[in-house]
Amino acid sequence: MYISRQITINGYSYRICESYFDSPFFKSKVLFDLGTSPEKYITYYSDVAFSINLEDKLAEVGRKTNQFELEELFLRFLKPEAKRWVSFSLNKRTFPKGSRNKAFKPQDFHWFDRIRLIAIKLDHREPQRVLDSKFPFYSRLFEKSRDEIENTIWDMEDNLNFRERSRYILAIFGLQKAYTLEERDEIFLNLLCKIAKDPAYYMDLSPHKVLSCYLSRYVWFYFDSLPWRRAPQIYQHLEINLYRELAQVLEISIETLLTSSKRDILKIFRKKIMTLHPDRGGSHEDFIRIRKLMENFLKLRF
């Protein structure tokens, strides 16, 4: 079993689903609709003691389960203290090896699924280079429907911070070699459409279904990764100029500003600002201007 999320006007709705084989693909069926607030099925007795009241509901549709399985399934919806306790218990628990022992070739799985796992698990900047290598984490793709695969990877993507997410999008769509923003846009959109139209990817669904339910999140990711795209048009020119001016002052590329950590950017800034300090013969006006540039950048970027 797994929890599938669906995009709604006000956020997400959730369903407990299960993958099953119906030749030639694995498909997904809904076992129980959780609605927009799965937390309502959790009853707390203390900060860490709780039960998930769904065993009878799932038994009605022929799916036997237990609290251990439901705890893992509902981990993201638990209160912080309970979540920490369950996470600790899961790390100590022994699970059957199952699909990890099955022989497989990397080519058994869709290339886009492999690329995403490589980028997430290894933080690889060019996952295309090792696409045909055999990694044990490919076992997470075994015997799963397209819906379960997408939700598995989606959950992993949720753990990425801003910098990691920006780097991730550049990596999985191979955007590092684009010289202009227009070229990057073209590569991104063309590849997105190519993936959606690939029968090996959409399986039992349709190009429209995978675009609207799954791949659309990458459109949000992509445009959110570039800070000036998020602003209303009236502010775009000002933001672009800020990035260009700061990059020029620090003698680095705009790409470095977008993908480097706050710590790394501050390290570059401190090194540069020391050379401009008035006590070392620098201009007081330039010193103040550059500090202001950095303050504005940090507000936008972090």
Phi, psi of 145 (to 5 degrees): -75, 170
Q: In the predicted model, is pLDDT for residue 105 greater than 70?
A: yes
* Burial class of 152 by CB neighbour count within 10 A (0 to 12, 13 to 18, 19+): middle
**19 pLDDT band (50/70/90 cuts)?**
very high
Percent of the chain with pLDDT strictly greater than 70: 89
Contact indicator for 119, 171 with CB cutoff of 8 Å? yes
Q: What is the DSSP letter of 123?
A: -
Domain boundary among 205, 225, 245: 225
Report the C-alpha gap between 259 and 142 in whole angstroms.
33
Contact indicator for 101, 84 with CB cutoff of 8 Å? no
Q: Where are the beta strands (DSSP E) in the chain?
A: 2-8, 11-22, 25-35, 42-44, 50-52
Average pLDDT over residues 3-22: 90
Average pLDDT over residues 255-273: 83
- On whether both 104 and 24 belong to a single domain, the answer is no
Report the C-alpha gap between 172 and 112 in whole angstroms.
8
pLDDT digits (tens, 9 = 90+) for 274-292: 888 888 887 777 888 888 8
Q: In the predicted model, is pLDDT for residue 172 greater than 50?
A: yes
The number of folded domains in the chain is 3
Quick one: pLDDT at residue 282?
Answer: 79
Quick one: pLDDT at residue 229?
Answer: 52
**Mean pLDDT across the chain:** 86
- On whether both 68 and 113 belong to a single domain, the answer is no
**301 pLDDT band (50/70/90 cuts)?**
low
- On whether both 240 and 258 belong to a single domain, the answer is yes
- On whether both 237 and 281 belong to a single domain, the answer is yes
- On whether both 146 and 60 belong to a single domain, the answer is no
Average pLDDT over residues 131-138: 93
Q: In the predicted model, is pLDDT for residue 134 greater than 60?
A: yes
pLDDT digits (tens, 9 = 90+) for 61-79: 999 999 999 999 999 999 9
- On whether both 103 and 75 belong to a single domain, the answer is no
CATH code assigned at 287: 1.10.287
Quick one: pLDDT at residue 237?
Answer: 54
Quick one: pLDDT at residue 78?
Answer: 94
Cα 262–267–269 angle (5° rounding)? 95
- On whether both 118 and 201 belong to a single domain, the answer is yes
Report the C-alpha gap between 58 and 2 in whole angstroms.
13
Phi, psi of 205 (to 5 degrees): -95, -140
Instruction: List Cα–Cα distances, 284 to 198, 246, 275, 291, in angstroms.
Output: 59, 17, 12, 11
Q: In which region does residue 174 sit, left (phi positive, over 0), alpha (psi from -120 to 50) or beta (all else)?
A: left
Quick one: pLDDT at residue 234?
Answer: 41
- On whether both 60 and 119 belong to a single domain, the answer is no
- On whether both 220 and 104 belong to a single domain, the answer is yes
Report the C-alpha gap between 83 and 74 in whole angstroms.
9
Torsion sign over Cα 143, 123, 195, 158: positive
- On whether both 104 and 210 belong to a single domain, the answer is yes
Domain boundary among 60, 95, 130: 95
Average pLDDT over residues 91-104: 61
Q: Which amino acid is at 217?
A: R
pLDDT digits (tens, 9 = 90+) for 178-237: 877 888 889 999 999 999 999 999 999 999 999 989 999 998 888 766 554 544 444 455
Report the C-alpha gap between 157 and 150 in whole angstroms.
10
Quick one: pLDDT at residue 231?
Answer: 45
- On whether both 154 and 193 belong to a single domain, the answer is yes
- On whether both 113 and 220 belong to a single domain, the answer is yes
Q: Structural domain of residue 55, as residue ranges?
A: 2-95
Domain boundary among 180, 204, 225: 225
